[in-house]
Amino acid sequence: MQVRIIAVGKIKERFLSDGIAEYEKRLTPYLKLSIVEIAEEKRGVHLSGSKGQIIKDGEGDRILAAIPERAYVVALDARGTGMTSEMLAARMRDWQLTGMSSIVVIIGGDLGLSDAVLTRAALRLSLSPMTFTHQMVRLILLEQLYRACRINSGEPYHK
C-alpha cells in the first residue's frame, strides 16, 4: 500500500522532525510512505474572514494538484469521523483487501482545509476532539498509521 501525506507547511521544531523521521523509518516494512509539503499562503498581520478563505482556497488548490488521480483521499478534519486505533487498522485492512493501493491523507494549515479539498475527500477523519498544531498532527498521524500496521500484522503494540 502506498500512503502519501500531503501537509501544509514545513516542520519547524526539531523534536517533531526527529519523531517524524523515527516513524517514517518504522513504517518502512509495512507501507510505501511519502510526505509532500505544500507551501503556506503568505499573510499579513490582520486576517479577516474573507482573507482567511482566500488563504484556504490557495492552499487547497495546491493540495488538489498534489493528489494522484485515482487516490482514495482522507482529509483530517476536526468535524470528521472519530476512530479508535483498532477501527483505523480495520479500515486500512479493508482498503488493502479491496485493492486500494494509493491512499492520500491531507493535513491542512492552521486555518483548516478548503471546501474543495473536503469535497474531494472520501473520508473526513478526526484524530481527536482536542486541538493540535498542524505540525504536531503529522507526528500523531504517523504514530497511528504505525500502530494500525502493527495491529494488522498481529504484532504487539503497547496500549
Helix H segments across 2-158? 14-27, 49-65, 85-97, 115-120, 134-152
In degrees, rounded to 5, the angle at the alpha carbon of residue 113 between the alpha carbons of residues 110 and 115 is 150
Percent of the chain at pLDDT > 70 equals 96
| Cross-strand pairs, 86 | none
What is the mean predicted confidence (pLDDT) over 59-86?
Answer: 96
Average pLDDT over residues 78-89: 96
For residue 52, what pLDDT is reported? 83
Q: How many angstroms separate the CA atoms of 83 and 79, rounded?
A: 12
Q: pLDDT category, 157, cuts 50, 70, 90?
A: confident
Q: What is the pLDDT of residues 24-42, one digit of tens each?
A: 999 999 999 999 999 998 8
Distances (CA, A) of 79 to 68, 123, 127: 25, 11, 10
| pTM assigned to the model | 0.93
Can you list the domains of the chain with their CATH numbers? 2-40+51-152 (3.40.1280.10)
Q: Model confidence at 62, in pLDDT bands (50, 70, 90)?
A: very high
Question: What is residue 66's predicted lDDT score, i.e. its pLDDT?
Answer: 98
Mean pLDDT across the chain, nearest whole number?
94
More confident residue, 85 or 157: 85
